Chains A and B, each alone.
Chain A
Amino acid sequence: AQTVTQSQPEMSVQEAETVTLSCTYDTSENNYYLFWYKQPPSRQMILVIRQEAYKQQNATENRFSVNFQKAAKSFSLKISDSQLGDTAMYFCAFMKHEGTYKYIFGTGTRLKVLA
């Protein structure tokens, strides 16, 4: 069975600085999808970034980028130029490429951006 581990329950970063949130996973699959979702205090879940394991190139969305290391089964999220609005809970998620619709989420990292 697949598992997703986020080893940092809480982090903080100064506004305008860069922070990296870690995510590791365990799977025997060769192709799969990885996602980062953000949950601000409003509790709405918002997609931040996504990556297909088959693609080597790291995904980037504006200030958000990932460092995808397939061999190490690592999918960390880097937030550059942190803003107060980035304060949220961040969840890493895994889904197999084929077959079921099962999503596996990590336990989350609570990020606080300090003014």
Chain B
Amino acid sequence: NAGVTQTPKFRILKIGQSMTLQCTQDMNHNYMYWYRQDPGMGLKLIYYSVGAGITDKGEVPNGYNVSRSTTEDFPLRLELAAPSQTSVYFCASSYSLASGRSTDTQYFGPGTRLTVL
């Protein structure tokens, strides 16, 4: 079991470039999340998904897009990179037994450190 994997580990982008951060989990979790963590701060939720084909905005969705075509994958897309998107991005997943209730543990990936210059 690899858990939650993220690629790439590091990336430097120029302003206006686009990229996709990959996230895959092999635990058959139905819920998946994207967070960003700015230096010295806690995590902020960008987008989340409760199952394949279902996504919704979190606290800071502007400048990002997501899709969930399979249970395993939840990529995060940056279309026009801006310096304000310099951050560490974490993907997480959890399992819910019933609709609308999450379990107590979100499993986090190792993170992607993104710098936009």
Q: Do A and B come from one complex?
A: no
The interface of chain A, by Cβ under 8 A from chain B, is none
The interface of chain B, by Cβ under 8 A from chain A, is none
